[in-house]
Amino acid sequence: MSVSLLLPMSAFALAASISPGPVNLVCLSSGTHYPIAKGLVFVTGATLGFIALFLGIGAGLYSLLTTVPLFDVLLRWAGVAFLLYLSIKLAMDDGTLPEQAIAKPPGFMTGALMQWLNPKAWIASASGISAYTSGNDLTQIAMFAALYLPICWLSLASWVYAGAFLKRSIQTPRLLVTINRLLAVLLATSCLFLLLA
């Protein structure tokens, strides 16, 4: 792979990973509700889930969606159902501060599953592979995935840290409830984009 491709690939990976989306919103929410270490477990699951998806798409998984349209429909509706479930959980949160919280934080498997149900991840993978590799060269795809791995992890982790920063600034449950409801609305709104895409 040409060294001259590394910078554009890195820029693409950064833009795709750090831009707001359902996974990023859950990272932000984790940072406001739980210790940073718990949020980073979710980040690790989401990153490795994305890399597995990226490699799968590079190996031809995306062509399955275009060949069998039912898979695309099922993926879209599963993603919508999962995001709505997370939105409802977030909207119902009572703003209890993390030290007193009983609810279980989203973990490794939730992060990995979210990426597979996230059309943003599918589109980022397919468009990145088609733009920066010859498409059927698994060595190029593996190199791109290796480049993507730390960029994705650091990008998602920055959202957890942003949430932790917000948590330090927010000491009243009522303000936290407002932020929770805003994040819930944003997550639910992202479902509309899934349905209209």
Give the model confidence (pLDDT) of 163-185 as tens digits. Answer: 998 888 776 777 777 777 877 78
Which residues have CB under 8 Å from 94's CB, separation 6+?
173, 177
Query: Around 151, how many Cα atoms within 13 Å sit in the side-chain half-sphere?
Result: 20
The residue among 77 and 54 whose pLDDT is bigger is 54
The rounded distance, in Å, linking the Cα atoms of 78 and 72 is 10
Query: Over 80: is that where the pLDDT of 66 sits?
Result: no
Query: Over 90: is that where the pLDDT of 154 sits?
Result: yes
Mean pLDDT of the chain: 82
Which residues have CB under 8 Å from 170's CB, separation 6+?
32, 176, 179
> What pLDDT sits at residue 36?
94
Query: Over 90: is that where the pLDDT of 194 sits?
Result: no
Is the CB of residue 16 less than 8 Å from the CB of residue 110? no
> What pLDDT sits at residue 179?
73
Query: Around 21, how many Cα atoms within 13 Å sit in the side-chain half-sphere?
Result: 23
> How far does the chain reach from its first CA to its final CA, in angstroms?
33
> What pLDDT sits at residue 40?
97
> What pLDDT sits at residue 135?
66
> What pLDDT sits at residue 65?
65
Residue carrying the six token digits 């994305």: 50
Is the CB of residue 163 less than 8 Å from the CB of residue 156? no
pLDDT digits 0-9 by tens, 79-126: 677 777 777 877 776 665 544 445 688 899 999 998 988 877 888 888
The rounded distance, in Å, linking the Cα atoms of 41 and 105 is 9
User: What 8-state DSSP symbol labels residue 197?
Assistant: -
Query: Over 90: is that where the pLDDT of 7 sits?
Result: no
> What pLDDT sits at residue 98?
46
> What pLDDT sits at residue 72?
67
pLDDT digits 0-9 by tens, 10-53: 998 998 898 888 888 889 889 988 899 999 999 999 999 999 99
Structural domain boundaries in the chain? 3-196
The rounded distance, in Å, linking the Cα atoms of 190 and 103 is 24
- The sign one gets for the Cα dihedral 147, 153, 156, 161 is negative
Band of pLDDT at residue 137, cut at 50, 70 and 90: confident
